[in-house]
């Protein structure tokens, strides 16, 4: 069963590619899926805040309070959606969703500021969207502190006591989520393509009854596996190039490292995807079954990859589980190469992890696949 005839594999590949590109659905999956995912994660899924509706109660009505509000609005993160003197209006604005952030400046704000005793103001956040609230809180704190420092410096007074934290985000100075998300799309797409195309094309043959005919023919299991995984590999690489090009040229994600360092990681990662695709195909009788099994694998793999949710804030047991997740290691490699300019030497841990996983998963897949072919 292990003999491989290069000619037979080539002919099988020709048939696979012919079928793939004759299927209009396939073209959509291969070329449109990356674009949709890029648009979704490049534009729509935005953990940044912009023009957050802000309601202001200014009891002080001084030059200082006006200046502070101008600074807040000038950042672009906040837009003043309403003003009033009555705190009840702020409550109503938050209740009805007219505002997500409320700033209440007490009377005597400018006096306290000038005296150097430290001024206070109240910020009320709509906590129903915890993400926006957290980010808005961070930005507001940062803006107000900067404002206070500026005023103090202008008055020739040094800020009294305490630690003056100056936060600076390295690698992504503006903390744009796009810069973080778009390279992540590469990880998602490659996994999806290698998993989907492999399992679907095998199971489709099983469903149509052609797999049965192939087992009767001299085609070996090894040849069949090559014929099924190589087209998926090709598509995964096409998507890798496509998404990388769009990320750099369209989304202006900085590419500080070398694309060549990314290629071996991509290959190992694709091998993991192909292996899982073969495994799924060996246990599924219909395309529907394969599809559902695929999502059972895909969803946890992505949720536990650090793509959406930081691994460091997961419960410890889940952090350990993520060590076994190839998506996590690949995303770390992709982001480090894009944003930090890291190379293979810096990322050897992740490369080693991917190598071990690709080898293990592939060996298991080959054994299982052979068993599913012969009864």
Nearer to another protein, 9 or 353 (CB): 9
CB of 366 to another protein, least distance (A): 18
Does position 212 bind another protein by CB under 8 A? yes
**Selection from 234, 280, 341, 244 nearest residue 20 by Cα:** 234
Is there a contact between 249 and 41 (Cβ–Cβ < 8 Å)? no
> Which residues are paired to 58 by β-bridges?
105
Contact set for another protein, span 213-272 (CB under 8 A): 213-219
Least spacing, CB of residue 370 vs another protein, in Å: 13
- Residues in the interface with another protein (CB under 8 A) total 26
Region of 1-9, 161-169, 176-184, 265-273 interacting with another protein (CB under 8 A) = 1-9
315 to 374, contacts with another protein by CB under 8 A? 374
135 vs 230 by CB, closer to another protein: 230
Q: Which of 39, 80, 114, 211 binds another protein (CB under 8 A)?
A: 211
Interaction mask 19-58, another protein, x per CB under 8 A:
x--xx-----------------------------------
| Nearer to another protein (CB atom), residue 115 or residue 210 | 210
Residue closer to another protein by CB (options 1, 155) is 1
User: Segment near another protein (CB under 8 A), from 155-163, 204-212, 281-289, 303-311?
Assistant: 204-212
Residues 6-25 within binding reach of another protein (CB under 8 A): 7-8, 11-12, 15, 18-19, 22-23
CA dist 30 → 111, 181, 232, 240, 272 (Å): 63, 20, 10, 11, 19
Q: Closer to another protein at the Cβ: 161 or 218? A: 218
d(CA 251, CA 321) in angstroms, rounded, equals 32
The correct pick among 208, 245, 260, 349 for binding another protein (CB under 8 A) is 208
Binding site for another protein (CB under 8 A): 1, 5, 7-8, 11-12, 15, 18-19, 22-23, 205, 208-219, 374-375
């Amino acid at each position: 069963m292990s003999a491989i005839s290069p000619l037979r594999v080539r002919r099988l590949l020709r048939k696979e590619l012919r079928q793939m590109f004759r299927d209009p659905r396939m073209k959509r999956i291969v070329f449109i899926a990356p674009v949709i995912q890029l648009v979704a994660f490049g534009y729509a899924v935005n953990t940044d805040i912009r023009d957050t509706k802000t309601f202001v109660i200014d009891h002080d009505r001084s030059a200082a309070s006006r200046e502070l509000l101008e600074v807040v609005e000038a950042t672009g993160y906040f837009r003043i959606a309403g003003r009033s003197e009555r705190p009840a209006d702020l409550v109503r604005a938050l209740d009805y969703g007219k505002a997500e952030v409320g700033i209440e400046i007490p009377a005597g704000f400018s006096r306290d500021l000038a005296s150097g005793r430290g001024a206070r103001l109240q910020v009320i956040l709509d906590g129903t969207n915890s993400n926006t609230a957290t980010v808005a809180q961070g930005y507001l704190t940062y803006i107000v502190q900067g404002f206070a420092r500026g005023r103090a410096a202008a008055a020739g007074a040094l800020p009294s006591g305490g630690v003056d934290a100056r936060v600076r985000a390295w690698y992504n100075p503006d903390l744009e989520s796009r810069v973080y998300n778009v390279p992540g799309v590469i990880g998602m797409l490659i996994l999806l393509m290698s998993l989907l195309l492999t399992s679907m094309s095998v199971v489709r043959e099983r469903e149509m009854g052609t797999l049965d005919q192939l087992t009767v023919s001299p085609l070996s299991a090894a040849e069949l596996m090559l014929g099924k995984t190589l087209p998926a590999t090709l598509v995964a690489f096409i998507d890798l190039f496509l998404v990388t090009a769009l990320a750099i040229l369209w989304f202006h994600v900085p590419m500080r490292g070398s694309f060549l360092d990314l290629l071996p990681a991509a290959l190992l990662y694709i091998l993991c995807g192909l292996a899982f695709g073969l495994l799924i195909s060996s246990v599924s009788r219909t395309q529907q079954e394969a599809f559902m099994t695929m999502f059972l694998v895909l969803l946890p793999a992505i949720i536990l990859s650090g793509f959406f949710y930081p691994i460091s804030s997961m419960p410890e047991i889940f952090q350990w589980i993520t060590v076994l997740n190839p998506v996590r290691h690949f995303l770390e490699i992709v982001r480090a190469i894009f944003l930090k300019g890291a190379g293979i030497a810096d990322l050897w841990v992740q490369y080693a992890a991917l190598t071990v996983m690709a080898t293990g998963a592939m060996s298991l897949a080959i054994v299982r696949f052979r068993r599913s072919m012969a009864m």
